[in-house]
A and B are shown apart, each in its own frame.
Chain A
Amino acid sequence: MSAPSITSIPKPRSPYKARKTGNFELNSWLFMRGSGLLLVVLVFGHLFVNLMVGKGVHAIDFAFVAGKWANPFWQVWDLAMLWLAELHGMNGLRTIINDYATKDTTRFVLKTLLYFSALIVLVLGTLVIFTFDPCLDPASTLEVCTNR
């Protein structure tokens, strides 16, 4: 047991210095609510179009994705869903790590893994949406390829 230190107690009447922490936690709290409401629309729309309409999950294959991403509407939809969901989930896990990981090193390792995985998902997902070309194979018989 070490003796309690008294050096950190400020002298009486020393001016109060507010810690400069900014509004990050307030902003992320607001972001969770805003992105959450947008994601309700984006994710329910995604689930309805991909699983409930027509043959449901059995309709999904390469041609299905090619047809969907030939339309900028679904490119923007999926891009917004990707970024909002990943940042919403990343911030949620950041909060959970802060709540349950009490050791500094554990928190550091878990958060490094978290941010690294989020970076992979965001970069990979964005690249896939924007560099996807369903007609790379010149012999492709897909409708989006034969029509142009």
Chain B
Amino acid sequence: MWSWVAHRITGVTIFFFLFAHVIDTAMVRVSPEAYNTAVETYKTPVVGVMEVGLVAAVLFHALNGIRIVLVDFWGNGPRYQRQLTYGVIGVFVVLFVPFVWRHLTNVFGG
């Protein structure tokens, strides 16, 4: 139930980011200066930290999506649904911690 709620919230979040991200990338078609100005904002500490939240949303949505596919299509999926949820949490931590460390080192390390 809660992974279903989180799947919806993270999905809507990513959808709205995608809209903004296509617009900011479209600035390459305006001029090099316009694009560099747009992408500069991604390098600021505030947006750098927001990016951590975005990647958390993407990671959860992807891993929980794989869990849904396994429950729907894998014969033993429904039987192991509880273990699959623990798997989502486990793989999330394993991938998210190194990402945060590397990304924040990049953002704050200049």
A contact set with B: CB distance below 8 Å: 33, 36-37, 39-40, 43-44, 47, 51-52, 55-58, 60-62, 65-66, 82, 85-86, 89-90, 92-93, 96, 117, 121, 124-125, 127-128, 131-132, 134, 137
The majority secondary structure among interface residues of chain B is: helix
Contacts known (A33-B68, A52-B99, A65-B28); A57 close to B107, Cβ less than 8 A: yes
Of B8, B23, B32, most buried by chain A (CB within 10 Å of CB) is B32
Residue numbers in B under 8 Å from A121 (CB-CB):
18-19, 22
Q: What B residues does A65 contact at CB under 8 A?
A: 25, 28, 35
In the assembled complex, the Cα of A33 lies from the Cα of B47 at a distance in Å of 31
Consensus secondary structure, chain A interface = helix
Known A-B contacts A40-B65, A44-B62, A61-B36; the reply to A56 vs B106 at CB < 8 A is yes
Least distance between A63 CB and chain B CB atoms (Å): 8
Q: CB within 8 Å of A: which residues of B?
A: 8, 11-12, 14-15, 18-19, 22-23, 25-26, 28-29, 32, 35-36, 39, 42-43, 48, 51, 55, 58, 62, 65-66, 68-69, 72-73, 99, 102-103, 105-107, 110
Contacts of A43 in B (CB 8 A): 58, 62
B22 in contact with A37 (CB, 8 Å): no
Contacts of A85 in B (CB 8 A): 14, 18
Kindly list chain B residues whose C-beta atoms are within 8 Å of the C-beta of A40. Answer: 62, 65-66
